[in-house]
Chains A and B, each alone.
Chain A
Amino acid sequence: GAVVSQHPSWVICKSGTSVKIECRSLDFQATTMFWYRQFPKQSLMLMATSNEGSKATYEQGVEKDKFLINHASLTLSTLTVTSAHPEDSSFYICSAPRGTSGGAQEQFFGPGTRLTVL
C-alpha cells in the first residue's frame, strides 16, 4: 500500500523556539494533505488542509500564524510550529489521500510526530 512518512518521529524543544515537521508521500503524489493533532487518549482533530501550490486552509480555532503549513511539492508538506509553548505539546499526524476523487479516497496516515515543548 501507499506509504506516508513523517520526520522527525519525536522532537523536544524549548519554549519559544520553532519546530518543523515534514510529511512525505513516498510512492504517490498528493496535491492535498491533512494535518491532525492528537492529545493523549483522545481523538484526532483536523487542523488544516495543505494544498500543493496554494495556501493552506485552517479549521476553525486553529491559529494559522502559529501553525505554518507549506506544501511545496506533490510529495512534501511541512508543518512549522512557531514560538512553541508547552500547550503545543502533542502528537501531530499527517495524511494524504489517494485514489478516486471525493470522499471515497482512501487516506494514508503518517506514523506521527511527538512534540514535547519544555
Chain B
Amino acid sequence: AQSVTQPDIHITVSEGASLELRCNYSYGATPYLFWYVQSPGQGLQLLLKYFSGDTLVQGIKGFEAEFKRSQSSFNLRKPSVHWSDAAEYFCAVGANDYKLSFGAGTTVTVRA
C-alpha cells in the first residue's frame, strides 16, 4: 500500500521569500505523485503532478516540484511567495486503481 509523509505541519514564510514543502512517499511501483492546495472554503486544486519523464515538474501559480526516486521524495517549491499562497498543501500518491493517499498536509502562513 502506498503512503505519504509530510514532515512539516506548519510553515511560516515572509512574502517574497522562497518556500519548500517536503513530501516523502512509499510505494512499491512507479508512483503517480500530486500536489494539491486547499484554501478555506475551497475544494482541492491540483498544483502539479508527476507520472514519468522529466523529474522537475512545473505547475500552476509558479510552483514546481522535483521527483527524486533515490530519496523517495517529491518536494514542492516556489521561488517567491505571495500572500495568496497561504493555504493547506497536500502531497498525494496515486496507484493504478485511481485511489489517492494523502499526506497529513502542511499549513503555510505568509507574513507581510
Contacts and interface: CB of A to CB of B under 8 A. Distances in A.
A103 B94 contact: yes
A97 B99 CA distance: 10
B28 interface: no
Contacts of A44: 44, 90, 100, 102
Given A42-B105, A43-B104, A103 B41 contact: no
A97 B98 contact: yes
A4 B45 CA distance: 11
A55 B46 CA distance: 28
A43 B32 contact: no
Interface in A15-67: 32, 34, 41-46, 49
Interface string B40-51: 011111100101
Interface of A: 4, 32, 34, 41-46, 49, 93, 95, 97, 102-107, 109-112
7 contacts: A34-B100, A49-B98, A49-B99, A104-B51, A105-B98, A106-B46, A109-B36
